[in-house]
Amino acid sequence: MTMTRDWLLSDRPVSRRQARLGQIYRTWLDFRTNGLAMFGFLIVLALVLVAIFAPWLAPHDPLLGDLNHTRLLPPLSEGYLLGTDDQGRDILSRLIHGSRITLAVVALVAVIATPVGLLVGTTAGYFGGWVDTVLMRLTDIVLAFPKLILALAFVAALGPGIENAIIAISITAWPPYARLARAETLTIRNSDFIAATKLQGASAARIIWKHIVPLCLSSVIVRVTLDMAGIILTAAGLGFLGLGAQPPQPEWGAMIAGGRNFLVDYWWVATMPGLAIFTVSLGFNLLGDGLRDVLDPKRQK
Amino acid sequence: MSLLDVENLRVTFPTRQGPAEVVRGVSFSLGRERLGIVGESGSGKSQTGRAILGLTPAPGVTTADRLSFDGIDLRNLGARQWRGLRGKRMSMVMQDPKFSLNPVMPVGKQLMEVLRTHGASRAEAREKSLAMLEAVQIRDPERVFRAYPHELSGGMGQRVMIAMMVVSEPDLLIADEPTSALDVTIQIEVLRILDRLVTDRGMGLIFISHDLRLVSSFCDRVLVMYAGRVVEELKASELHQAQHPYTQGLLNCLPQIDEDRYPLPTLDRDASWAE
Amino acid sequence: MVSNTLGGRRGALWLRKIASTLGTVAVTFLGLLIVTFLIGRVVPVDPVLSVVGDRATQAQYDAAYQALGLDRPLVEQFWIWLQKVFQGDFGTSNLTTRPIAQDIARVFPATLELATVSIVIGTAFGIPMGVWAAVRQGKLVDQVVRVVGLVGYSAPVFWLGLMGLLLFYFKLDLISGPGRVDISYEYDFTPRTGLFLLDTAMQGAWGAFGNVFSHIILPASLLGYLSLAYISRMTRSFMLNELAQEYITTARVKGVPEWRIIWVQALRNAAVPLVTVVALSYANLLEGSVLTETVFAWPGLGQYLTNSLQNADMNAVLGGTLVIGAIFVGLNMFSDLLYTLLDARTRNRT
C-alpha cells in the first residue's frame, strides 16, 4: 500500500504513465479533503450504481401497479417505503428506474454538447479572423436565446419525447463550452510549444486535437459538471410540462406532474420525485464546485 | 523618550507545512528621525511596517516583547483605539497609487475621508485637503480634487497618496517602497516632496526599500534585513564600514561608473545568516 | 498629469462602444429571427390544416396553402414573415383567435410584475448575504450562505412551487393560492398599467392590494430565492476580490471604520460588475418564469407559451419565443453598456 503511494507521489516519475497517474492521485488527495465535494461525489456515485443495478434494487414493477389494492398508499406502508401513486405503482421502484433516465439524459447531453463546444471553440480560437467571427457570432446567437424557451421551441418542433428533449437540451448546452474553449485556446495559441509543433510541420487539425484540446479539457469538464445540475433541472422541467419522457416512463419531472393533481390529499406522490431531483442535482453541484477548486489552476493561489 | 519602540517583533503565518515566521525577532527604536529598512523581497521588511500599524493580513499573527508608540502599548489595542491612531497619528504610504487608491472614489473625497473620520467638519476637511494638495506641489488642486485615480499619472497619484497620509500631520510615517513603481525621473521629485514634509513637520519616518543607495542618501540610519532578521544596523554616513557580508554583498552589487566589471558579482547567501 | 483631451477621447470611445454593441445586437437579433422562423417551418403541425380545419376540400386547402405563401421559396417566405414581424404582426393565435401581438401585450405585465418583485427580493437579500459571507470567509456564515445558494441552484422551481402551495396555502392558509387576484377583488380596481400592485395602490384599493400581494408573495419569493442564489454567490466572489485589494489597506491605514470599508469602499467597487449580474438575473427571471407561472396559474407570458405549446399553436409559440428572446438580448446589451459606463477602470484600460 505504502509502496503504491510512494510510487504515485514520486518526485521523479520514470514513465509518462507514472507521472500522469501521480497527477491524478495528487488531485484526488486534494479533492478528498473537501467534505462537501466528497458528499456530492458520493451522491453521484450512488446515482450511477442505482441506475446500473435498478432491476435488482427495485422491489416492484415500475410500470405496472395493482389498481385494486395498492392505490395511493402513504409512505412507510408495508412493502412500499415511499408509498404508491394513483395507479398503485411503488414510488421507490419508479424512482430507482427513473435514475436511468436521468443519468442517460445527463450522459448523452454531455457526450453530444462537449465535443461540439470544444470543436467550435478551439477552431474559432486557433484560426481567428473570419472563422472566429462567424463561429462566435453563431455561438452568441444561441446564447442569446433563453435556454428553457429554446429547448421548449425545439421540442415543440420535433415532437415531445425523451430523445427530442435530449437533442433540444444539447442544442442549448454547447455555446458556453465553445466560449470557454475559445478563451483557453487564445491563451495557448501563441505559446512557444505550439510554434515549435508548427515548425515540425504538424497540421492544424493535429495541433488542435493533440495539443490544444487536452489543455482546454479540464476547465471544460469542470464547466460540464457544474452544468449537469442545470441539465437535470431542464430535463425535469420539460418532463413536468409533458414534453419530455412520455408516460408511463418513470421520469422524475413527469412524476411530479402526475402527483400534482392530488397534491393536497396525497402529498407524497409529487414530493418524493422532487426530493430525488433535488438530491441528485445538489450532488452534481457539490461535485462540480469541488472539481473547480481542485482542477482550475487559475483559482489556486 | 523615543517615538517608537520595537522589541523582538515576530510575524507568523500558518501554512500547510506548519507556521512560517516571516519576521523573526526584529528590535529597534525610533525617534523623530529617518530610519531606512533595506532588504530583498521576502526579507520581511514590508511585514515589519505593517505589523507596526497592526495590519498583519488575516491569518498572520504578530507578537512582540515590546511594541509601543509614544508610550501607548500597541499589542492589545482594540479596533476603536487603533482607528484613533491610524490616519491621525501614524500612517503609511504604499507602493503603487494604481492599487492603493480607491478607483471609484474621487481623489478629493478620499483625502477628506481621513480628516472626516477623525472628526473634522466638511468645510474644514475640504480646505485642508486642498492646501495639502498644494503642499505636494500639485498645480491645479481643484481639478485633481475632483479627478478619479485613473485620470492621474503615477507621479501625481503618489503625491496624492502622500498628501493623504500626511494631511492629518501624523507623528510617524511609514513609507513602503514609495517610489518603486514610478519612473526614475519622477522618483527624485516625489522623494524631495516627502523629505521636505517630514523635515518641516518633524515626523518620524520609516523608509522601506530594496534600494540601498536610495535609502542611505535619504535616511539617518539604516537597518539591513535578511530572512526576517536585522543583520546589521548602520549610520547612513558609515555605510562603507559595513561589517556583515550580506550588506557588503549588496553594496558590491551597485554599479560603478568608472569600473568595468566582468564577471558581474553575484550576491552570496549563507544559510547561517538566517540563524 | 490630468489630461485635457481625456474627456473628448472618452466620449468617442463611448460612442464607438455603443455602435459596436448595437451592431452585435443587430446580428444576434437577425439570428434570433432566422432560428425562430426555421423552427416554425420544421414543425410537424400543418399550418394549413389549422386554418381551414380537417374537413376542408382539396380546393379550399390549396387556396389556403397559396394564401399563406407556402408555395414560394423559403427565403421569400422569410422575407414576408420578417416584414410582418417588424410591423408587430406575429399572426393570429388559433387558441384565442386574437392577434398574437395583442395577446402578448395583455399577458406581459403579469410576467413583468412577478419578475420585478422577484428581483427586488433577490437583490435585497442576495447582496447583503454575499457581502457577509465574503467578510466572514471560511466561517460558519460563509458555509451557510454557500449551502443556501447551492440549494437554490439544485431545487426544481416547479417542485418548490408545489411544496410552497401545499404548505403555505393548503395546510397553513397563510397566503392566497394560484392566480393573480381573487374574483371578489377583481372589480375593485381597473388594471391600467397591468401591474396590479401598482394599479391597486394608485387607486387606493387597499383591500385588493392586500389580496394581490398575498397572491404574488410566494411565487416571487421562490423566483427571488433562485436569483438570490446566483447574486449572493457572485457578490461574495466580487467582494473577496475587492477586500484583497491594496486600497482596502489604505483605508485601514487612514483609520476608516470597518463597516465603512466594507459597505462603502469595497461594495462600491464590487457594484460595478454586480450591475451586470443583477441585469442578467432579471433577464433570466423574465424567461425562467415559464415553469413557475404554470404551477401558480399565473396569467403571464410563460403560461401563455406553455398553453400554446400544448395546443400546437405554433404562431403563438414563435411570437412568444421571439419577444422573450428580444428582451433577453436587450437586457444583455443594457447591462453591457451600463458596465462600460460605470467602470472607470475599463475606460482607463481601453
pLDDT at position A276, please? Answer: 95
Residue A24 counted as domain residue: no
Residue A207 counted as domain residue: yes
Lowest mean pLDDT among A114-118, C45-49, C63-67: C45-49
Nearest in space to B191 (alpha carbons), one of B257, B153, B127, B137: B137
Task: Say which residue, A13 or C7, is predicted with more confidence.
Answer: A13
Report residue B185 as a C-alpha cell. 525621473
> Taking an 8 Å Cβ-Cβ cutoff, which residues of chain B contact chain C?
50, 53, 55, 79, 82-88, 91-92, 94-96, 99-105, 113-114, 117-118, 140, 143-144, 147-148, 150-153, 156, 161, 164-165
Distance of CA A242 to the CA centre of its chain: 22
Q: Which of C170, C312, C328 sits opposite A264 (nearest CB)?
A: C170
Q: What are phi and psi of A249, to 5 degrees?
A: -50, 135
Nearest in space to C260 (alpha carbons), one of C251, C271, C249: C251
Lowest mean pLDDT among A156-160, A217-221, C120-124, C160-164: A156-160
Q: How confident is the model at residue A150 (pLDDT cuts 50, 70, 90)?
A: confident
Lowest mean pLDDT among A155-169, C101-115, C246-260: A155-169
Residues 252-311 of C with CB under 8 A from B: 252-258, 265, 268-269, 272
- Beta-carbon separation of C272 and B104 below 8 A: yes
- Beta-carbon separation of C255 and B83 below 8 A: yes
pLDDT at position B16, please? Answer: 72
Whether C17 and C341 have beta carbons less than 8 Å apart is answered as no
Q: How far is B211 from chain C (nearest CA, A)?
A: 22
Whether B145 and B107 have beta carbons less than 8 Å apart is answered as yes
SS3 C127: helix
Whether chain C has a CB inside 8 Å of the CB on A99: the answer is no
Q: How confident is the model at residue C234 (pLDDT cuts 50, 70, 90)?
A: very high
Gap between the Cα atoms of B101 and C348, Å rounded: 14
Whether chain C has a CB inside 8 Å of the CB on A140: the answer is yes
CATH class of B1-89+174-183+204-275: alpha beta
Distance of CA A36 to the CA centre of its chain: 18
Q: Which of B86, B88, B104 sits opposite C252 (nearest CB)?
A: B86
Lowest mean pLDDT among A147-156, B157-166, C261-270: A147-156
Q: How confident is the model at residue C321 (pLDDT cuts 50, 70, 90)?
A: confident
pLDDT at position A32, please? Answer: 82
Residues 6+ apart with CB under 8 A from B27: B6, B7, B8, B9, B230
**Domain limits for position A93:** 39-299
Gap between the Cα atoms of C186 and C178, Å rounded: 14
Residue A27 counted as domain residue: no
Q: How far is B240 from chain C (nearest CA, A)?
A: 36
Percent of chain B with pLDDT over 70: 94
SS3 B180: coil
pLDDT at position B255, please? Answer: 67
Residue A22 counted as domain residue: no
Q: How confident is the model at residue B174 (pLDDT cuts 50, 70, 90)?
A: very high
Report DSSP state, residue A67: T
Q: What are phi and psi of B61, to 5 degrees?
A: -125, 135
Name the amino acid, one letter, at A180.
Answer: L
Residue A96 counted as domain residue: yes
Q: How far is C254 from chain A (nearest CA, A)?
A: 28
- Tell me how many domains chain A contains: 1
Gap between the Cα atoms of A135 and A178, Å rounded: 9
Nearest in space to B22 (alpha carbons), one of B178, B231, B226: B226
Q: What secondary structure does DSSP assign to C270-295, as a single string?
A: HHHHHHHHHHHHHHHHHHHHHHHHHH
Gap between the Cα atoms of C106 and C292, Å rounded: 18
Whether chain B has a CB inside 8 Å of the CB on C2: the answer is yes
Q: How confident is the model at residue A122 (pLDDT cuts 50, 70, 90)?
A: very high
Lowest mean pLDDT among A92-96, A99-103, B182-186, C210-214: B182-186
Residue-range domain boundaries for chain B: 1-89+174-183+204-275, 96-169
pLDDT at position C127, please? Answer: 95
Whether C308 and C320 have beta carbons less than 8 Å apart is answered as yes
Average pLDDT, chain A: 86
pLDDT single digits (tens) A77-115: 888 888 888 888 899 999 999 999 999 999 999 999 999
- Residue C349: is its pLDDT beyond 50? no
Q: What secondary structure does DSSP assign to A236-274, as a single string?
A: HHHHHTTSSSPTTS--HHHHHHHHHTTTTT-THHHHHHH
pLDDT single digits (tens) C22-59: 887 888 888 888 888 888 777 666 667 766 777 778 88
Gap between the Cα atoms of C256 and B168, Å rounded: 13
pLDDT single digits (tens) A57-74: 888 888 888 888 788 888
Task: Say which residue, A224 or B237, is predicted with more confidence.
Answer: A224
Nearest in space to B158 (alpha carbons), one of B108, B93, B113: B93
Task: Say which residue, C124 or B95, is predicted with more confidence.
Answer: C124
Q: What secondary structure does DSSP assign to A95-145, as a single string?
A: HHHHHHHHHHHHHHHHHHHHHHHHHHHHHHHHH-HHHHHHHHHHHHHHHHS
Q: How far is C57 from chain A (nearest CA, A)?
A: 27
Read off the CATH number of the domain in which A48 is found: 1.10.3720.10
Lowest mean pLDDT among B159-173, B253-267, C13-27: B253-267
- Beta-carbon separation of A157 and C325 below 8 A: no
Nearest in space to A72 (alpha carbons), one of A61, A80, A64: A80
User: Which chains, if any, share at least 3 CB pairs under 8 A with chain B?
Assistant: C
- Residue A10: is its pLDDT beyond 80? no
SS3 C205: coil
Task: Say which residue, A52 or A9, is predicted with more confidence.
Answer: A52
SS3 B92: strand
Q: How confident is the model at residue A264 (pLDDT cuts 50, 70, 90)?
A: confident
Distance of CA A19 to the CA centre of its chain: 28
Q: How confident is the model at residue A296 (pLDDT cuts 50, 70, 90)?
A: low
Gap between the Cα atoms of C292 and C215, Å rounded: 13
Q: How confident is the model at residue B239 (pLDDT cuts 50, 70, 90)?
A: confident
Distances (CA, A) of B165 to B53, B101, B136, B260: 13, 12, 11, 43
Q: Interface pTM (ipTM) of the complex?
A: 0.87
- Beta-carbon separation of C291 and A264 below 8 A: no
Nearest in space to A99 (alpha carbons), one of A252, A264, A295: A252
- Residue B212: is its pLDDT beyond 90? no
Q: How far is C346 from chain B (nearest CA, A)?
A: 10
Gap between the Cα atoms of C111 and C219, Å rounded: 11
**B55 contacts in C (CB within 8 Å)?**
249, 252-253
pLDDT at position C322, please? Answer: 85
**Among all residues of chain C, which has the CA nearest to that of A137?**
C28
Percent of chain B with pLDDT over 90: 22
Gap between the Cα atoms of C325 and C330, Å rounded: 8
**Which site among B144, B151, B171 would you substitute to test the C interface, given the most C Cβ atoms closer than 10 Å to its Cβ?**
B151
**Among all residues of chain A, which has the CA nearest to that of C26?**
A141
The sign of the torsion formed by the CA atoms of B222, B227, B228, B230 equals: negative
Gap between the Cα atoms of A98 and A106, Å rounded: 13
Q: How confident is the model at residue B1 (pLDDT cuts 50, 70, 90)?
A: low
Lowest mean pLDDT among A204-208, B261-265, C73-77: B261-265
Percent of chain A with pLDDT over 70: 98
Q: How confident is the model at residue C4 (pLDDT cuts 50, 70, 90)?
A: very low
Report residue C130 as a C-alpha cell. 454575499
